[in-house]
């Protein structure tokens, strides 16, 4: 694909991360050209998910990471950092970093323009880095008075050594591609007019003419040396066993003798990545939910109702507010045909009369409900199921809200923005998100994730009403 065609890339749409595939090569596009492809919190989480998913895909032989437009990545988008705990941003960043570094097959960062901060981190996490003459590099936390993540510093030191890493970190200077090549930050420096052709040829050779057995074994052995100072006996034994049953060695020798291109056929078993030496000490992460149909979680509060809509393609929950539950759902359904509406039981109201009024409102709406499943859920139980254990922090404290935000994010629900001047508190938004999480689990057929809801509301409305 020529450089002039990568400047706009309008066919990729407006999602900030997009994957395209061609002949065993997956290209992961950073698609925020108006922000020079800066990566925000939700993008780090999505980058981790996509890298993990592509690594497990047997049809993917090579991963290319690149930016849309004139730049690779100008770094982390810090504009929203004030909205969430810094440790949560760092956690999302680390998940993406590890997912890229642990990608079990060859990965290539193709760099044009800015490759700064988080962009340099993404590039360094890949196996190889190709850059054209426009590329510029920097690691710039010293400009902001923050600290570059320790895992990213370690990876930079492993790649370019302590002195070059210190220079970038101490000065926060932007260096050109010539210097990046000299210190080993990039593997090839290409003239702009031939860079695309070189990338295409390299991925063609790696994906079609080279043994995936050799590539994956080599990658894991190099990683073992970095982690332990040598290739461990376990890694050597596992790849020796794979070699013994692989057809690639015989095919490679025959192709060499017959002066023809080899037809390598070896592919890793489905569970091969689970044996990786580098993955052994990583904590297990919850599986993010996949939104297969639009669902709405609803929570009542003193001012009315708030709803969190989850739907395919939405980068974060869409929040709505209304005085009545009927008007809330009708507003949402103007744009989305809902599959499930999950209603958090209004047990949090201190006033008995107000609670009864909410119950009656729900009952009245249910009797004329739209064509959607209706679930009665309990937000606290939703969070407990989501975390695997009860969450002790009180939802009324900032710490409690932050803890629940973190749990939502780790299950694929991007941090919602609380409605400004709406009268709805953060905990109401969170409970609506938790109800939406349960609705999405139900829509996906995962009945085991449904919480143990009470049998009825106080006025006898069934806990689950099937449409």
Residue 265 pLDDT exceeds 80: yes
User: pLDDT tens across 409-466, in order?
Assistant: 666 676 665 543 344 566 778 888 888 888 888 888 765 445 444 333 333 333 433 3
Q: How far is CA 221 from CA 34, 39, 45, 214, 283, in A?
A: 40, 31, 28, 10, 22
* 74 within domain boundaries: yes
CATH number at residue 315: 3.30.420.140
Question: Are the C-beta atoms of residues 74 and 123 closer than 8 Å to each other?
Answer: no
* 396 within domain boundaries: yes
Pairing of strands 25-30, 62-67: parallel
User: pLDDT tens across 182-225, in order?
Assistant: 999 999 999 999 999 999 999 999 999 999 999 999 999 998 88
Confidence (pLDDT) at 344: 80
* 285 within domain boundaries: no
At which residue do the structure tokens 């057995």 appear?
A: 213
| Pair (132, 259) in one structural domain | no
Residue 403 pLDDT exceeds 70: no
User: pLDDT tens across 316-329, in order?
Assistant: 788 888 888 888 89
Domain end, chosen from 189, 206, 223, is at 206
| Pair (261, 219) in one structural domain | yes
| Pair (314, 341) in one structural domain | yes
Of the candidates 6, 152, 154, 156, the one whose C-alpha atom is nearest the C-alpha of residue 70 is: 6
Between 20 and 13, the more confident residue is 20
Average pLDDT over residues 257-263: 90
* 284 within domain boundaries: no
Q: What is the mean pLDDT of the chain?
A: 80
Residue 358 pLDDT exceeds 90: no
Confidence (pLDDT) at 226: 84
| Pair (118, 173) in one structural domain | yes
| Pair (323, 239) in one structural domain | no
| Pair (416, 323) in one structural domain | yes
| Pair (213, 186) in one structural domain | no
| Pair (202, 242) in one structural domain | no
Question: Are the C-beta atoms of residues 94 and 283 closer than 8 Å to each other?
Answer: no
| Pair (138, 58) in one structural domain | yes
Residue 112 exposed, middle or buried by CB count within 10 Å (0-12, 13-18, 19+): buried
Residue 131 pLDDT exceeds 90: yes
User: Diameter of the chain by CA atoms?
Assistant: 88
* Domain count of the fold of the chain: 3
**What is the residue range of 164's domain?**
3-206
Between 114 and 395, the more confident residue is 114
CATH number at residue 240: 1.10.12
Between 246 and 281, the more confident residue is 246
| Pair (226, 187) in one structural domain | no
Band (pLDDT 50/70/90 cuts) for residue 91 is confident
Q: Whole-model pTM?
A: 0.60
Confidence (pLDDT) at 100: 95
Indicate the range of 33-47, 170-184, 375-389 predicted with least confidence.
375-389
Domain end, chosen from 279, 312, 327, is at 279
| Pair (330, 376) in one structural domain | yes
* 173 within domain boundaries: yes
| Pair (330, 202) in one structural domain | no
Between 166 and 84, the more confident residue is 166
Confidence (pLDDT) at 349: 44
CATH number at residue 128: 3.90.226.10
Residue 298 pLDDT exceeds 50: yes
């Amino acid at each position: 694909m020529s450089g002039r065609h990568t400047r706009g890339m309008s066919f990729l749409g407006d999602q900030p991360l997009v994957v395209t595939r061609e002949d065993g090569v997956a290209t992961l596009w950073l698609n925020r050209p108006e922000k020079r492809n800066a990566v925000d919190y939700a993008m780090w989480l999505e980058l981790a998910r996509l890298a993990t998913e592509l690594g497990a895909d047997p049809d993917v032989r090579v991963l290319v990471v690149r930016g849309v437009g004139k730049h690779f990545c100008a770094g982390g988008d810090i504009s929203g950092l004030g909205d969430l705990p810094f440790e949560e941003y760092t956690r999302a960043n680390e998940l993406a970093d590890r997912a890229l570094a642990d990608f079990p097959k060859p990965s290539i960062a193709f760099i044009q323009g800015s490759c700064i901060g988080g962009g340099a981190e993404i590039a360094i996490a890949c196996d190889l880095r190709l850059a054209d003459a426009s590329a510029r590099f920097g690691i710039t936390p010293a400009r902001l008075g923050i600290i570059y993540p320790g895992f990213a510093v370690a990876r930079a030191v492993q790649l370019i050594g302590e002195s070059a890493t210190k220079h970038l970190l101490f000065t926060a200077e932007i260096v050109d591609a010539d210097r990046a090549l000299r210190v080993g930050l990039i593997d090839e420096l290409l003239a702009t007019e031939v860079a695309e052709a070189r990338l295409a040829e390299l991925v063609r050779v790696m994906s079609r003419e080279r043994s995936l057995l050799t590539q994956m074994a080599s990658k894991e052995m190099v990683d073992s040396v970095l982690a332990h100072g040598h290739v461990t006996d376990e890694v050597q034994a596992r790849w020796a066993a794979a070699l013994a049953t692989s057809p690639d060695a015989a095919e490679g020798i025959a192709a060499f003798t017959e002066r023809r291109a080899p037809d390598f056929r070896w592919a890793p078993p489905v569970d091969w990545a689970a044996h990786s030496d580098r993955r052994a000490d990583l904590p297990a992460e919850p599986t993010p939910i996949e939104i297969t149909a639009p669902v709405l979680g609803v929570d009542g509060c003193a001012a009315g109702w708030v709803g969190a809509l989850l739907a395919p393609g939405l980068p974060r929950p869409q929040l709505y507010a209304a005085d009545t539950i009927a008007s809330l759902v009708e507003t949402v359904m103007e744009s989305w045909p809902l599959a499930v509406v999950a209603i958090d039981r209004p047990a949090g109201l201190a006033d008995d009369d107000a609670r009864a009024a909410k119950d009656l409102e729900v009952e009245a709406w249910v009797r004329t409900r739209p064509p959607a499943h209706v679930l009665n859920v309990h937000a606290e139980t939703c969070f407990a199921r989501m975390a695997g254990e009860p969450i002790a922090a009180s939802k009324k404290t900032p710490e409690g809200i932050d803890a629940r935000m973190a749990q939502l994010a780790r299950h694929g629900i991007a941090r919602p923005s609380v409605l400004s001047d709406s009268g709805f508190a953060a905990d109401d938004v969170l409970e609506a998100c938790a109800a939406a999480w349960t609705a999405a689990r139900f829509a996906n057929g995962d009945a085991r994730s449904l919480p143990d809801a009470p049998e009825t509301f106080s006025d006898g409305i069934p806990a689950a009403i099937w449409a």
